[in-house]
Amino acid sequence: MAAMATVVAAWRYPVKSAAAEDVERLTVTSDGVVGDRVSAAIARDDATVVSAKHPRKGGRLLEVMTSYADDTGAVTVTVPGHRAIRAGDKQLDALLSEWLGRPVALTDVVPEGLRLHRLWPSEIGMLPEWVSDAQAGDAVLTEVAGAARGRFVDYAPVHLVTTGELARLESELGHPANPVRFRPNLLLDLPIDPQPGQLLRIGDVELTIDLPASRCVIPSLAQAGVPEADGEILKALARHHRVAVGDRGKAAVFGVYANVLRAGVVCRGAQVVVSS
């Protein structure tokens, strides 16, 4: 039997690890959300993508505001304390470098073998079972699997969370949890997350659920729109949200990844049909 829901909110992240852009509608293609993770800051010293997954190296990106122009494809970036600058302006590289405390260059070209620095959370339950050569609290260098799609996504084209799972987490925490902390594309009004293999129809768009989204340190960090850090989130995820992720083993998860079967436009308030 099909379940019905609505799209509560929609976001994209024109620059990887920068602040969310809250939008009324998203255009979805087979490669993912148009304007989502289309650019990234690349460190000049080691050619890695700068990411808030390692807070010391890239956490300040979470305070950088970005926007994407659907008609032109232009990305605009606002470094705190400065005016908005269009990507491609060399002044922007200088401002981002100063803000991050390391030389970087903004690019929309995804290099082969893209890697990022990651800091595994200190909570033991946050370490995925498939990471056999690392310990909680370790800093490591990992590949960006989703980069094969030609954008700077971590894994799948679309990432979504649900109001039901968010309410469950808030009950475990004893305080609100802003969904932006998890950096999804969609917030759906569903009592539980759809399961792998289920089909979502949103207007002309069809998505199929892939895997639960394993979590990193980012949900605990302060960021634009969520100015306070919240380490309790990681503790709650490690205690209550550790499940099997396909055949890879267990990990602390929140939300799910989806692949695109049919392209189209997803609007805030649109009806969602979930079926097996």
Give the pTM.
0.96
Q: What pLDDT is attached to residue 147?
A: 87
At 137, is the pLDDT very low, low, confident or very high (cuts 50, 70, 90)?
Answer: very high
At 1, is the pLDDT very low, low, confident or very high (cuts 50, 70, 90)?
Answer: low
Q: 150 vs 23, which has greater pLDDT? A: 23
At 3, is the pLDDT very low, low, confident or very high (cuts 50, 70, 90)?
Answer: confident
Q: What pLDDT is attached to residue 153?
A: 94
Q: Is the pLDDT of residue 174 over 70?
A: yes
Q: What pLDDT is attached to residue 148?
A: 81
Q: What pLDDT is attached to residue 155?
A: 93
- Region 106-126: mean pLDDT is 94
SS3 196: coil
DSSP bridge partners of 58: none
DSSP secondary structure string for all residues of 78-138: E-TTS--EETT-HHHHHHHHHHHTS-EEEES---TT-EEEEE--SSGGGS-TT--S--TT-
- Characterise 94 by phi-psi region: left (phi > 0), alpha (psi -120 to 50), beta (else): alpha
Q: How far apart are the first and last CA of the chain?
A: 8
Q: Is the pLDDT of residue 233 over 90?
A: yes
Q: What pLDDT is attached to residue 235?
A: 97
- Region 30-58: mean pLDDT is 97
Contacts of 142 (CB under 8 A, 6+ apart): 115, 116, 118
At 150, is the pLDDT very low, low, confident or very high (cuts 50, 70, 90)?
Answer: confident
Q: What pLDDT is attached to residue 215?
A: 97
- Domains parsed from the chain with CATH numbers: 3-275 (2.40.33.20)
Burial (Cβ within 10 Å: 0-12, 13-18, ≥19) of residue 111: middle
Share of the chain above pLDDT 90, in %: 93
Which of 64-78, 139-153, 179-193 is predicted with the least confidence, judged by mean pLDDT?
A: 139-153
Question: What's the length of the chain?
Answer: 276
Contact predicate 156/146, CB 8 Å: yes
Q: Is the pLDDT of residue 53 over 80?
A: yes
